[in-house]
Structure 1
């Protein structure tokens, strides 16, 4: 059945412009529930696996490098594929793409749980990332096409709350499953969730495709963009290990730049490009994309150190550290729908500027954390950070997706998610490098000032590596208790010095992002879709 509403306003609910639906099928809020359940698997997996990694490596007798690949393989596949996945949704329909993503993600999760070797885990984690990339842009495309304009921000707010809730639940659920069941259960849990999501999607989702949706696929563009994204993200991931000035790092960055340039030339010459460059003539869309990069840079890069602070400086278990982060995610869960309602009333510009200022204040506050900082003070800064981030997650998403033509909603969703992945990877790498540099600069001086015995070069190098994570190595046997406590204090203070500098830089980036937010505005939401069921 095909109903052409392309010439009618998209934001006229209750008229002929809405997709025809019978019973549950096509209902906007039920669509949101079905979409959120599928996306929840991806966001939950992003944090739950980090807790399971030590148990995986121990059980499969794997190395630390293997553990890095379990995480990096997934992130690389996700980042490289997001924009292409968005175009697949625009071309073949977001409902179909979303269903393939759910089935593939759940199936690969089950296979990972049955794996008997780390190579199999890594291979299927890469596949998991590819299927996860299909889900995120398709979800935003479905929301954009299903909800009328005056309710879209609220829908994205609820969607953001689900992401916040599943992100928060990851470390806690992962810790409980690994501790009381096994690491395989971390992946098996996706199977029943996936089956339920598939059942809901088959009953509820409607396949929205506009009449001028792309009819061909730009394979050369896919190759160039995927190669460019791989080289960029891989260079960012490995730069802390290789060094930013290392020849290998610079080579990957140069290849990425050349591939991006070739991609731009290709997209300007082809009739139906993978990423229509004309989208970037929209200043708000471009500003929203940059805002997502800067927000993810500060948030993911800064918050990366918090788990080490809680576990290694305060001595908390993974579950306890997850519980201490609940103020952050709880505020995001509550504030995201409220932010959506506010943005609908006043537009995104003022809320986005204000929220990035609040985020900056929270980052500067987190830079003051000390060894003896109490739970109440930590919770206040975490809650303030959640309050600042919630409007950005909602507003920047709406700015990017809402200012794109409806036929490019999937690509816009992929662009938004790719910006977040690149910003998060860049923030983790850059702020990590800043922190490591400060620790290496600070620790020897503090060690000497404390009148601790000099260490041989190999022991000093090991101490520095441990201090980067806030870990105080055990003192040699026979060391007086007072001296051992002093060693621990020096290591923790050096770590805190590095973490504090990283949060200050994250705060500066947040303030810069507030300036970028001045160029945003709400999407026009153009015209309604033609619906193919």
Structure 2
């Protein structure tokens, strides 16, 4: 299959050499953008720990608390590709600095909020500013680093994201427990100020000669609407159920809007996403791979927190500590993966990484309610080892196979693929868990000699067990409570095992997709043709 015309005709002497001054220095650029991206990645998980305290302090309902998270995720997912296009048009330095400033400002205002409505509104703005940051960071790395060091840089960038995401529950738990929930947001203010100061001094505005000069406004509107319908449908699917009209109305609406978007893009003079970009088989494979990886990883990890906290009775901080083998392995393995991909190309590390991920998922599917720390740590570490090369390699494949003038769009595409994959994995595996619990709980309940529950109570019991909570009634005798707890936890673990098995199959499919990846077509001209 033919590829779109890429920047492969640039001469090697056009590749920017590492700069000796502070401004535009590749490694200092990496350090600067890593601090900003760390703030966004940390925020993706740190807020979940603060939600109960916010609910209590502001008198929020369950729906309000869900919107604190969903509003942020929706804004982030919807705006990523458009934000990348803004960076391609106006410069990634500018969009990065605006993103940093806005993210830190909204964080501080959330900490000062006295109503849950204000928190939700500001979280939406926080998601929009966060969307500016991530594609801009990749665009800056793509334009700054020479080809032979780009993968190593992306490896370090991936390690920062992995470490920050996993550290969220630990840091959030400590802050909520020892300070207050507002401190979870206030911490972004000094971090953002440091990132802004470094960015003003270090980041250099490098733009491609063929940078876009106009905006595809109808394309932006269509893509934003399509992404909103898809992500919203996936977020609400567990509550609405997959058989409901609402779920399929949003999912079906997103498919229709994506089709209209594709038709419009094929006729637009300067499209938001040139469809010819996807004629590159490696880029398309990298995008699909990112979706499948996020499906298996985020969908599977969704149940791990319930398993540790509700089955094993750990606090959020303690459960975060138990995930450290996963975090540590990603931190160590990501830069190593970048070096291996630079030397051997992405195909072998990506295939191997997804196979390791599949094996880890199979191992986690065999966990029981009584599994100890040694067993969980082994599989968490193997999962980190498998994910590291995929995070690095798939990112390089997507960004490296796009022309320099579309590096922001490619960065947005990479992040959007992760958001879609994570939302899809959480929704689908959540449905798998619910179906297994609904199927097994009644028979296990009866086999344990427990009294039959009325339909309404049985439904409530299934909902509780689906997140690892034993539906023990108040003031239940010790023996009855013990039996209900055993049945509930065993049923949950059975559902978790099936969910991890599905995730393992998805990871194996991703390993096949990885065979179609190759080194970025622009990797030999990583700097492309730029002007300052």
Shift of 1:468: 1.0
The CA deviation string for residues 89-133 of structure 1, in whole angstroms up to 9 with x for no partner, is: 000000001001000100110111111000000001000000000
Residue matched to 2:428: 430
Counterpart secondary structure, 1:207: coil
Match of 1:322 in 2: 320
- Conservation of the 8 A alpha-carbon contact between 2:355 and 2:386: yes
Q: Deviations over 1:192-225 (max 9, x none)?
A: 0000000000110111101111101110100000
Partner of 1:276: 274
Q: Which residue of 2 aligns with 1:160?
A: 158
Aligned with residue 345 of structure 2, among 347, 351, 356: 347
Tell me if structure 1 keeps the 8 A contact 2:8–2:521: no
Find the counterpart in structure 2 of residue 91 from structure 1: 89
Secondary structure of the residue that 2:440 maps to in structure 1? helix
Per the alignment, residue 414 of structure 1 pairs with 412
How far did 1:475 drift? 3.9
Deviations 1:421-466 (A, max 9, x none): 0000000000001001101111110010011122233322221111
Residue 488 (structure 1) aligned with residue 478 (structure 2):
no
Map 1:347-386 to 2 at 5 A: 347-386=345-384
Matches within 5 A, 1:2-401: 8-9=10-11, 17-18=15-16, 21=19, 23-401=21-399
Structure-2 separation of matches of 1:197 and 1:418: 24
| Kept after mapping to 2: 8 A contact 1:48/1:174 | yes
Question: CA contact under 8 A between 1:141 and 1:410: conserved in structure 2?
Answer: yes
Contact 1:208 1:530 in 2 (8 A): no
Separation of aligned partners in 1, 2:183 and 2:41: 17
- CA–CA separation in structure 2 for the residues paired with 1:234 and 1:449: 39
CA–CA separation in structure 2 for the residues paired with 1:161 and 1:75 = 21
Where do 5+ consecutive residues of structure 2 fail to align? 1-6
- Is 1:512 paired with 2:509? yes
SS at match of 2:210: coil
Once the 2 structures are TM-superposed, how far is the Cα of residue 158 of structure 1 from its aligned partner?
A: 0.3
The 2-side partners of 1:17 and 1:507 are apart by 41
Give yes or no for the alignment of 1:503 onto 2:507. no
Q: Counterpart of 1:215 in 2: which secondary structure?
A: coil
**Does the aligned pair in 1 maintain the 2:296–2:506 contact within 8 Å?**
yes
Indicate the residue corresponding to 2:4 in structure 1.
Answer: none
Question: Number of aligned pairs?
Answer: 524
Hey, what's the Cα distance between the residues in 2 that align with 1:87 and 1:191?
27
With normalisation by structure 2, the TM-score equals 0.96
Gaps of 5+ in 1: none
Distance in 2 separating the partners of 1:133 and 1:118: 23
Provide the secondary structure at the position in 2 that maps to 1:141: helix
Taking a change above 3 Å as real, the CA distance of residues 160 and 65 of structure 1, as seen in their structure-2 partners, is same
CA distance in 1, matches of 2:80, 2:509: 26
| 1:24 and 1:203 in contact (8 A); partners too | yes
Pairwise CA distance, 1:7: 6.9
Kindly provide the CA deviation profile for residues 16-58 of structure 1, in whole angstroms up to 9, marking residues without a partner as x: 6426956211100000000100000100000100111111111
Task: Provide Cα deviations, 1:294-336, integer angstroms capped at 9, x if missing partner.
Answer: 0000100001000000001000011000000000011000000
Question: Separation in 2 of the partners of 1:353 and 1:55?
Answer: 43
